[in-house]
């Protein structure tokens, strides 16, 4: 568990849970899901002391649920957002959990990029003076943003315009934006892998055999599309909820509210970019598969055309050979000394004539690849 007290541009990390509200600031309590389950009573007591309110039972169940999709909910005292982040490796499992949690996909085959598109939920409970976040075990997003937050208090970074989040809601949106950036970074590797497969699918004369990995990729893209749609719906609900908040008192609070709405729309725009790219990749894969089978069908048609032309060329030759192979006593040219050469010459002339005819009609034209 990591605990931060934020007042203005000052950020202090402590080891003990605070027992009283922070004047002019707020507290960020970031804990792992297993820690939240064990210290639930202590955390509820801390929330009561700091905010005068506690989490309701259904929201506690949501924060402990490892399979919950991204969604938004609220009460009159706090807002609850669940947002699924990219898992660093295998899906989360507690000490007593089975090797593969129910409902989670099994370990994927194929390239390593596919095994990275597992997701775990992160829960945010946003109070007026407290942000409680519930993360999977060893959450890299929490630790990386915590280091960024501590570094933002340095004089050098403040001079460059970096600012500490002004409220728990602002801090939540920044963490969510960090998660979405992970999806944006994933696009490059996915695009590179799928471009490689498209090149293999459309390579002339190649036999593509990695169909199982391609099927895994298509299923993974469908799953990623569903995850991003849930994320977009949750952030849209959050934006609509912010519009219903009481009117800001004073210019400073109004400015903070406007910045919060701008950051919310920015997060939503990032998610929509991911959704757009994932759908474009899905269409690209579908198009590549269809083009692959079209190319295969065109090659088969060319082969059948060549075989048909060759058969048509040899049909009259077989007819002549069959006629002179009949068991009749009298056949023209059969007993003449030059009969064989006349028949052979006629067969050659007929064959060359038919080849020329088919060539002029482009039946023997070389197809471009």
pLDDT digits (tens, 9 = 90+) for 235-286: 899 889 888 888 777 888 788 888 888 988 988 898 888 888 888 887 877 7
Evaluate whether residue 314 is within a structural domain. Answer: no
356 & 222 share domain: no
Strand 130-135 vs strand 25-32: parallel, antiparallel, or unpaired?
parallel
- Other beta carbons less than 10 A from residue 245's beta carbon: 11
Q: How far is CA 198 from each of CA 211, 218, 282, 358, 365, rounded to the nearest angstrom?
A: 12, 13, 12, 35, 28
At residue 1, the 3 state secondary structure works out as coil
288 & 329 share domain: no
Q: Which two tokens stand for residue 30?
A: 């970031």
352 & 290 share domain: no
Helix axes 251-324, 168-202, angle to 10 degrees: 10
Q: Cα separation of 132 and 122, whole Å?
A: 11
Question: Residue 58: what pLDDT?
Answer: 92
**pTM metric for this prediction:** 0.70
Q: Cα separation of 87 and 96, whole Å?
A: 19
Evaluate whether residue 317 is within a structural domain. Answer: no
Strand 2-7 vs strand 25-32: parallel, antiparallel, or unpaired?
antiparallel
Domain count of the fold of the chain = 2
Question: Residue 338: what pLDDT?
Answer: 80
Q: Which two tokens stand for residue 92?
A: 């989360």
Evaluate whether residue 302 is within a structural domain. Answer: no
Cα 72–Cα 31–Cα 82 angle in degrees, nearest 5: 10
Question: Residue 20: what pLDDT?
Answer: 86
Question: Residue 52: what pLDDT?
Answer: 86
142 & 186 share domain: yes
CATH number of domain containing 47: 3.30.460.20
265 & 353 share domain: no
Q: Which two tokens stand for residue 281?
A: 């990749």
Segment holding 246, helix H or strand E: none
30 & 146 share domain: yes
Show which of 278, 294, 310 is a domain's final residue.
294
Question: Residue 209: what pLDDT?
Answer: 66
Q: Cα separation of 168 and 352, whole Å?
A: 87
Tell me, what DSSP letter sits at residue 275? H
Domain assignment of residue 267, given as a range: 2-294
Q: Cα separation of 281 and 89, whole Å?
A: 23
Evaluate whether residue 301 is within a structural domain. Answer: no
56 & 146 share domain: yes
Residue with tokens 């600012």: 163
- Other beta carbons less than 10 A from residue 214's beta carbon: 20
Q: Cα separation of 98 and 323, whole Å?
A: 80
Tell me, what DSSP letter sits at residue 83? E
Q: Cα separation of 2 and 145, whole Å?
A: 12
Q: How far is CA 203 from each of CA 291, 293, 296, 344, 369, rounded to the nearest angstrom?
A: 11, 12, 11, 43, 9
Question: Residue 133: what pLDDT?
Answer: 92
Do residues 127 and 139 make contact, with C-beta atoms less than 8 angstroms apart? no
Evaluate whether residue 110 is within a structural domain. Answer: yes
264 & 345 share domain: no
Evaluate whether residue 238 is within a structural domain. Answer: yes
Torsions phi, psi of 120, nearest 5?
-130, 145
Evaluate whether residue 264 is within a structural domain. Answer: yes
Total H helices, total E strands in the chain: 10, 7
Show which of 244, 271, 294 is a domain's final residue.
294
143 & 287 share domain: yes
Question: Residue 111: what pLDDT?
Answer: 53
Question: Residue 154: what pLDDT?
Answer: 60
Do residues 26 and 149 make contact, with C-beta atoms less than 8 angstroms apart? no
208 & 92 share domain: yes
Question: Residue 105: what pLDDT?
Answer: 42
Rounded average pLDDT per 10-residue block, the chain, 369 residues: 86 85 88 90 90 90 89 90 73 42 42 64 90 85 82 56 79 88 75 74 66 74 83 89 82 84 89 85 78 76 84 85 79 77 86 86 63
Evaluate whether residue 14 is within a structural domain. Answer: yes
Segment holding 13, helix H or strand E: strand 10-14
């Amino acid at each position: 568990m990591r605990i931060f007290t934020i007042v203005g541009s000052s950020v202090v990390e402590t080891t003990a849970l605070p027992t009283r509200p922070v004047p002019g600031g707020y507290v960020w309590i970031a804990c792992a899901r297993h820690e939240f389950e064990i210290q639930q009573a202590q955390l509820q007591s801390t929330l009561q002391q700091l905010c005068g309110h506690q989490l309701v039972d259904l929201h506690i169940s949501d924060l402990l649920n490892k399979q919950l999709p991204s969604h938004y909910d609220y009460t009159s005292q706090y807002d609850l957002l669940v947002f699924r982040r990219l898992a660093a490796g295998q899906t989360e499992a507690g000490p007593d959990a089975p090797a593969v949690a129910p409902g989670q996909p099994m370990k994927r085959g194929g390239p390593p990029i596919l095994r990275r598109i597992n997701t775990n939920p992160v829960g945010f409970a946003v109070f007026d003076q407290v942000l409680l976040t519930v993360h999977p075990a060893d959450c890299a997003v929490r630790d990386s943003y915590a280091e960024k937050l501590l570094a933002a208090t340095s004089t050098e970074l403040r001079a460059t315009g970096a600012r500490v989040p002004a409220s728990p809601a602002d801090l939540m949106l920044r963490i969510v934006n960090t998660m979405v950036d992970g999806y944006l970074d994933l696009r490059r590797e996915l695009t590179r892998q799928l471009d490689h497969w498209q090149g293999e699918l459309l390579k002339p004369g190649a036999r593509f055999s990695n169909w199982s990995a391609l099927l895994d990729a298509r299923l993974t893209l469908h799953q990623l599309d569903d995850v991003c749609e849930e994320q977009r719906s949750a952030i849209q609900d959050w934006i609509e909820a912010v519009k219903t908040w009481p009117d800001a008192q004073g210019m400073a609070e109004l400015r903070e509210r406007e910045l919060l709405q701008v950051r919310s729309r920015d997060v939503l725009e990032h998610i929509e970019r991911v959704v757009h790219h994932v759908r474009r990749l899905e269409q690209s894969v579908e198009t590549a598969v269809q083009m692959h089978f079209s190319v295969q069908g065109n090659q088969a048609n060319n082969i059948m055309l060549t075989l048909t032309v060759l058969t048509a060329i040899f049909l009259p030759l077989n007819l002549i050979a069959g006629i002179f192979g009949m068991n009749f006593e009298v056949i023209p040219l059969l007993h003449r000394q030059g009969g064989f050469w006349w028949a052979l010459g006629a067969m050659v002339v007929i064959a060359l004539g038919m080849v020329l005819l088919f060539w002029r009609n482009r039946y023997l034209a070389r197809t471009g690849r």
